[in-house]
Structure 1
Amino acid sequence: MGDKVKTAVRELLDTAGMGKGQIMVIGCSSSEIAAHRIGSYSSAEIGQAVYNALMKELAPRGIYLAAQCCEHLNRALILEKEAAEKYGYEMVNVVPQLKAGGSFATAAYAGMKAPAAVERIQAHAGIDIGDTLIGMHLRAVAVPVRISVKEIGGAHVVCARTRLKYIGGERARYF
């Protein structure tokens, strides 16, 4: 499982061209990875394994992780306080747990230096593991990214990057 997570992250990073200080949002259902219905089989071990694999790829590149919580916390996000402050995200008071926030967000909260919870972000790219609906946390123009990893365990995998909006019409020039 960890190798598939690392491959998915590397392929998305290569396509998205993300730079240091940008944010990647990850939604992860440990239930779906374990081939159960979303929200029915939280696994601390799976959440921890996904978090560890992600951080091996993101941390050396200076990419911030935003871990999406489950619907019981209204899909709030856990990220480093430094990132929340850098982007001006309003912090909220909640600590994810296995059955309220999810196993992945719980692992992220425990693993971060100074974790913070926020209600919404505008991430530069993201990976949705298990149809957790990360789209609400991406910047306005999301572009699907096709990668070789289609599933992790029993969970469907979808990736997206974002780009700047094109404005100005036919006389505008773009880079």
Structure 2
Amino acid sequence: MIREDEPAIIFTNEDARQLHHPHDDAIVITLTIATYTTRKVLIDNGSSADILYYPAFQQMRFNKESLHPVNKPFIGFGGMKVLPVSTISLPVMVGSYPHQVNKEVNFLIVDCSSLYNAIIGRPTLTSWRVATSTYQLSIKFPIEYVIEEVQGDQLAARECYLPMLATDG
């Protein structure tokens, strides 16, 4: 629901002061997925799905009965077809107390190589009403009458990106 009395979401140069410039880093944050603090979560406006990578799922030690089979592939980066292992709905918390959003997220569980643990795509970003800024490596979203910000982790973004460059032929 859109509220007319909600403050505007704006990004300023102040939001980017603590970053190393110039950069073209991705927005990589830490989220609480179920009860697990999950680092290396990519914020991806270009993804039409929310993805949890299988190694991260295994570390969370969920009961396999909570999984729902899926047999519909999706197209991954580079046009490659990827068949998810299954889907799972998990509570995700973004923000910090007392300004946080808690929502159920329907993840596709994918068993393929990634330096990320999860990807939050458009379905969840839209439900959280997130605005992103790659320059500031930040996401902002409204919570009641406040705008909450989650700053991306530039070091984690580089930990994920630089090894991919080294293996790119």
TM-score (norm 2): 0.31
Higher RCO structure (Cα 8 Å, ≥6 apart): 2
What TM-score comes out, normalization by structure 1 length? 0.30
- Greater share of residues in helix: 1
Higher normalized strand content (fraction of residues): 2
